[in-house]
Amino acid sequence: MPLIFISSESKNSRRQLAEDLAKKLGYGCLCREDLIEEATKAGIPVGKLEVAMIKSPAMSERLARQKERYIAFITAALCERAMEGNFVYHGRAGHLLLQGISHIIKVRLVVTQETRIAEAMTQLKLGRDKAVGYVKDVDEDIERWVRYFYGVNRDKPGQYDVAVNLENMSLSNASAMLCYMAELPDFRPTPASLRALENRSLEARARKKLALDPQTENTDLKVRAENGVVTVTYMPRQPGVAQIIPEVLAGLAGCKEVMCTMATTNILWVQEKFDPHCEAFHQLNQIAQRWDAAIELVRFTVPPDLENVFGGTYVEVDQSAEQALAGTSNQFTAEPPKAEYNGGIEDDVESDKVKDVGGVSDTIQELVNIGRSGGAHTIRGNFHTLLSVIRGDVKYSLIVLGDLFLSKSHETQVRLTRELGGYLAERVGVPVITSDELQKKYLVGKKQFLKMLLYSAAVAALYLVIFFAQGPLLPFLGDTEHMQQRIIRMVAIFLFIPVVAYLYGTVTSLFLKFLKFE
């Protein structure tokens, strides 16, 4: 049976609905206020954090750490409860904490403004005008909290499975409808969704452990977990933490391996088949070294019978990562084999060796060797499914689309890749390029060297002209008597300055790229 997460700004209504629903389904019931109490007891200043986030969103390092800590705590608590049994959760935006898990029904509960005003008048003993102002303020605060905390607009319908409007429906009928919905096969737990929940649980527990340990509490870490392998990325300014992280995470239940990667940002590489010896890998590695970036792999395939590549029906998500390290295989299988963790030591017997579908294992192993691994996923579905793997809390700087849609004709491949690029660029807000463009846009070769020489010559010529012509130039620059001179000077400066900045800026940028300093 699925878990049910109800989000609403009306505390009363969401509580009533959740409790009724939990009673009907025989579930436990959990609310935001319980979790906040637990978090506060654990030393997270939730009230202070909430005020700071709502009042002004400028994120200091300290505030960002507290936010990460809070999210890790709440997510870990939710995952722990989910492992114990089913429950109904109600809060403001709980649906955003465990995204991408298909056996959670995400409900948006809409309550009329009048009901909320009446509630405020009764509970807080306010006059109507004050109650109206109070409800408006609460709405704005919740809106800000969700926007700054999760980076989304809570009114976007795509993030919920269902919206229940209580204007024309009773609470009891809404509850009955959700009971029926919970019986639907679409929301039953699948091996993939349970694995995704396990991953999120491990990730949150690892983050929580790091946040609570005095050695790592003041560091900026990003944690991802896939199949027992925890990948922790840390900032270049905190290099000493790499040795401490494995010590802190030692003994964490479910953690088979800890990998630490120094990175300030992630590069997402989407491709159908990976090969650690290909040119794109070599080029991406060069860029990642310059940017202090981790490379995150996504093996993305589209089912041949898929009609709408952009969105619509959720097809299938199977996440697998670092199988080479974990020594397990779960590619597209209903039940993943329960192989024992072997620390990466394989038997000599060939038949036991896992088949590396799509080259993900070999490529991720190579990235681990060079200290650039940002984890890996295998996705099968449409563009929307792919988008679900791109998380808002990870700072991406570049998305690279490699060879995709291999079962289609060349023309279709080109078209679909272009459409996917546009789709992702619009939604993620980072540059999206194809692997063919890497050299041209981000690397330096013969062409870039020639360009640098050419631009340098142009810059030198411009500087020589200006500095050898100072005699006639200065009276022209300082003349205030002739209208014509003044107009020409204005236009000349307006046109000349950007040209110099562009030419010399390009020369400098290329020169530093040659020095691998970016």
Partner 1 sequence: MEHVAGEYFIHLDLYVALQVILLGFIGGTLSGFIGSGGAFFMTPGMMNLGVQGVVAVGSNIAHKFGKAMVGSRKHGEMGNVDKKLALFLVLTSYAGIWLAVWINSKLFAGGGGGEHGAPKGAGANLYISIVFITILSVVALSMLRDVMRTAKDEGMGPSRKISEFLSRLRLPPMIYFKVADVKVSLWVLMMVGLATGYLAGTIGVGGFIGVPAMIYVFGIPTAVAAGTELYLAMFMGAWGAVNYAWQGFVDIRLTMLMYLGSLLGIYIGAYGVKVVNEVYIRLVTGLIIIICALSRGVAIPMYLRQLGYVNMDPAFDTYFNGASKVLLFLAGFGGVAVILFHVFRAHRRRRSIQVVMEYAKT
**Residues at the contact surface with partner 1, assessed by CB under 8 A:** 48-49, 52, 55-63, 66, 144, 147, 153, 235-239, 262, 264, 289, 292, 369-371, 397, 429-431, 462-463, 466-467, 470, 473-475, 477-480, 486, 489-490, 493-494, 496-498, 500-502, 504-505, 508-509, 512, 517-518
Query: Least distance (Å) from partner 1 to the CB of residue 92?
Result: 18
Return the structure tokens found at 459: 């810059």
**What is the nearest approach in angstroms of partner 1 to the Cβ of residue 413?**
25
Residue 355 DSSP code: P
Nearest to 227 by CA among 260, 251, 194: 194
CB–CB of 256/226 below 8 Å?
Answer: no
Q: How far is the CB of 184 from partner 1 (least distance, A)?
A: 34
> In angstroms, what is the minimal distance from the CB of 302 to partner 1?
26
Query: How many C-beta atoms lie closer than 10 Å to residue 351's C-beta?
Result: 5
Handedness of CA 342, 345, 347, 350 (dihedral sign): positive
| Residue 418 token pair | 């272009």
- Helix residue spans in 469-482 (DSSP H): 470-478
Nearer CB in complex with partner 1: 48/447: 48
In angstroms, give the least distance from the CB of 60 to partner 1: 4
Residue among 163 and 497 whose Cβ is closer to partner 1: 497
Look-up of token digits 């013969």: 446
The residue among 454 and 477 lying less far from partner 1, judged by its C-beta, is 477
Residue 190 CB contacts under 8 Å (≥ 6 apart), including other chains: 102, 103
Distance of closest approach, residue 315 Cβ to partner 1, in angstroms: 28
Residue number with CB closer to partner 1 (172 or 369): 369
Distances (CA, A) of 121 to 67, 118, 128: 33, 5, 7
Strands 373-380 vs 396-401: parallel, antiparallel or unpaired: unpaired
Q: Transcribe 259-276 into DSSP letters.
A: EEEE-SEEEEEEESS--T
Separation between Cα atoms, residue 61 and residue 517, nearest integer Å: 25
- Between residues 114 and 479, which has the closer beta carbon with respect to partner 1? 479
**Closest distance of CB 426 from partner 1, Å:** 9
Pick 55 or 353: Cβ nearer partner 1:
55
Nearer to partner 1, 450 or 473 (CB): 473
